[in-house]
Chain A
Amino acid sequence: AQSVTQLDSQVPVFEEAPVELRCNYSSSVSVYLFWYVQYPNQGLQLLLKYLSGSTLVKSINGFEAEFNKSQTSFHLRKPSVHISDTAEYFCAVSDPGQGAQKLVFGQGTRLTINP
């Protein structure tokens, strides 16, 4: 069964500093990879996804993630964070060969931005 590991449960950073949230997954076969963000008291919002093609994917608000098949990783990065990026970030994987394509989530990383 697939599993996802987010190595950091909490990441505090200062505003305008760079950040990397780490994500590793267990499956060695083809996968779809996702990052979801959960702002306080809200649901999960899709931040970005990797399905195929370019291994570097970007969101509209400056986040990017790189799919690394050899290291089975999909780390999320942002070169300069804002207070508004404070949220919980979830990495998730699904199996493209499986009809339902359920998502398997990591534990989440709480990103806290300090002024």
Chain B
Amino acid sequence: EPEVTQTPSHQVTQMGQEVILRCVPISNHLYFYWYRQILGQKVEFLVSFYNNEISEKSEIFDDQFSVERPDGSNFTLKIRSTKLEDSAMYFCASRAVSYEQYFGPGTRLTVT
């Protein structure tokens, strides 16, 4: 069964450093998403991506964040200058024309 994969599973970085979180969505899916979950809080929407452009972004998704689908298979989330409050679990999701979003296992980002 096809699945969404994410790498790395855990990333530790120092404040101010750039990080890139990688996702490989399910191959025939058209819509791609990033969500995050700060420890003990709810899962929050960050951004959606369709037809090679951002279709919606939340208030969290400021200029420090960017997304890219560089090669038709990978979907990346970049944080340019990480802050302590960026520490969270980051989930990638994808969906086809149907309405179910399929989630990856997540990347735990720890900013020290």
Contacts and interface: CB of A to CB of B under 8 A. Distances in A.
A46 B91 contact: no
Interface in B97-112: 99-106
Do most interface residues of chain B lie in helix, strand or loop, or is the interface mixed?
Answer: strand
A35 B110 CA distance: 28
The 5 closest A-B pairs by CB, nearest first: A100-B48, A43-B105, A44-B103, A100-B56, A105-B43
A49 interface: yes
B79 to A, nearest CB: 19
Contacts of B48: 100-102
Interface residues of A, number: 25
Interface of A: 32, 34, 36, 42-46, 49, 51, 90, 92, 94, 96, 98-108
Nearest to A41: B105
A10 B105 CA distance: 22
Contacts, number: 61
A36 to B, nearest CB: 7
A114 B102 CA distance: 30
B81 to A, nearest CB: 25
A90 B45 CA distance: 14
A100 B55 contact: yes
Q: Among the interface residues B43, B91, B102, B103, which one has the most CB atoms of the partner chain A within 10 A?
A: B43
Nearest to A45: B103
Contacts of A42: 105
B44 interface: yes
Contacts of B35: 103, 105
Interface in B41-67: 41-45, 48, 50, 55-56, 58
Contacts of B105: 42-43
